[in-house]
């Protein structure tokens, strides 16, 4: 449908148009990484002026919606690879709308963001409470990524259309919104994020028994909201923290249990129910525990840990 003459573009249309122009002018520079299990490709792109951006492309899971399946069958074009008796192997070309790439375009980017998405060998870090104080906290204070986008969401200056639920309480409340990696439609890879309103809590390391009411609130109200809006039962949802998190303002991930989301397994994720249980047993559990996680070779935090433990 054509836009009426003189009609102004919406903010969403303007940003989409700007991003489209940026992508059209971009040149491929480097494959930062690929993940065959998640059908993902991370590309470093550059502009004529030397600025850079990152395109994260992910193949979407199949929809289980009846109309989508019928459309797939109607439009499928088979290209035979081999056949043996009743077993045939084919490449299938389907309608483009059924084969979309869920993507993120990040621009402009700096060296730290490029390093974040560059695929490299990983190593295990065992972070004692002492190492958290002497290594991780200084790292967070000096190198954490800008949190403006988080505050924009909490203050409803952006991504308002992605809000699933909000508890506005300043102490125990949170904003539940669709994660940028989810299209908001395909339930099979549902991914929503609960970001707390309270400032000052960076990760599970900051949590104590005094925060249990907030954690109960996040868990119970988020699971109810997801059920009411998307129809998934609480035992079909995985809820967890990342450690280390990708940004240091406390948040909880909620995904469809069917979805094998990146960084949702051991060495990256700590289940919300486990955090609650640990704090119920010991109020200062995360103040006195050794936490294990992985970092990429060349990562700044990895370098700082190696320097701190080199003589031990």
User: pLDDT per residue over 225-239, tens digit each?
Assistant: 999 999 999 999 999
**Structure confidence at residue 1 (pLDDT):** 44
Residue 2 has pLDDT above 70, yes or no: no
**Structure confidence at residue 101 (pLDDT):** 85
Residue 265 has pLDDT above 50, yes or no: yes
Active site residue 251: yes
pLDDT in tens, 9-22: 777 788 889 999 99
Give the residue among 57, 63, 65 at the shortest CA–CA distance from 38: 57
The answer to whether the CB of 53 falls within 8 A of the CB of 103 is: no
223 labelled as ligand-binding? no
Highest mean pLDDT among 115-129, 179-193, 207-221: 207-221
Planar angle of CA 221, 238, 285, nearest 5 degrees: 80
pLDDT tier for residue 52 given thresholds of 50, 70 and 90? very high
- Active-site residue, from 38, 199, 251, 285: 251
**Structure confidence at residue 6 (pLDDT):** 59
Residue 4 has pLDDT above 60, yes or no: no
pLDDT in tens, 125-157: 999 999 999 999 999 999 888 899 999 999 999
**Structure confidence at residue 180 (pLDDT):** 86
The answer to whether the CB of 248 falls within 8 A of the CB of 186 is: no
179 labelled as ligand-binding? yes
**Mean pLDDT, rounded, of the chain:** 91
245 labelled as ligand-binding? yes
Structural domains for the chain: 9-59+100-119 (no CATH), 61-99 (no CATH), 121-309 (3.30.428.10)
């Amino acid at each position: 449908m054509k836009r009426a003459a003189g009609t102004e573009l919406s903010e969403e249309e303007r940003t989409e148009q700007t991003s489209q122009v940026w992508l059209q002018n971009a040149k491929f520079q480097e494959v930062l990484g690929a993940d065959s299990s998640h059908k993902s490709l991370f590309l470093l792109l550059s502009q004529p002026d030397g600025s850079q951006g990152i395109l994260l492309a992910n193949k979407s899971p199949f929809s289980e919606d009846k109309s989508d399946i019928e459309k797939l069958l109607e439009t499928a074009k088979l290209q035979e690879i081999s056949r043996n008796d009743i077993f045939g192997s084919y490449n299938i070309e389907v309608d483009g709308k059924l084969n979309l790439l869920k993507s993120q375009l990040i621009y402009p980017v700096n060296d730290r963001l490029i390093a974040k998405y560059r695929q490299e060998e990983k190593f295990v870090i065992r972070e004692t409470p002492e190492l958290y104080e002497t290594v991780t906290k200084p790292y967070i204070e000096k190198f954490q990524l800008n949190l403006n986008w988080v505050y924009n969401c909490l203050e409803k200056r952006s991504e308002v259309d992605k809000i699933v639920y909000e508890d506005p309480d300043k102490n125990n409340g949170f904003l539940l919104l669709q994660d940028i990696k989810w299209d908001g439609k395909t339930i099979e890879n549902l991914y929503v994020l609960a970001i707390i309103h309270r400032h000052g809590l960076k990760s599970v390391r900051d949590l104590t028994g005094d925060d249990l009411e907030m954690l109960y609130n996040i868990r119970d109200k988020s699971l109810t909201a997801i059920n009411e809006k998307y129809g998934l039962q609480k035992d079909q949802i995985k809820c967890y923290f990342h450690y280390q998190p990708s940004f240091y303002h406390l948040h909880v991930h909620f995904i469809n249990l069917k979805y094998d989301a990146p960084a949702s397994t051991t060495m990256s994720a700590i289940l919300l129910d486990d955090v609650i249980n640990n704090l119920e047993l010991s109020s200062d559990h995360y103040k006195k525990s050794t936490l294990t996680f992985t970092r990429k070779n060349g990562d700044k935090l990895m370098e700082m840990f190696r320097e701190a433990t080199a003589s031990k």
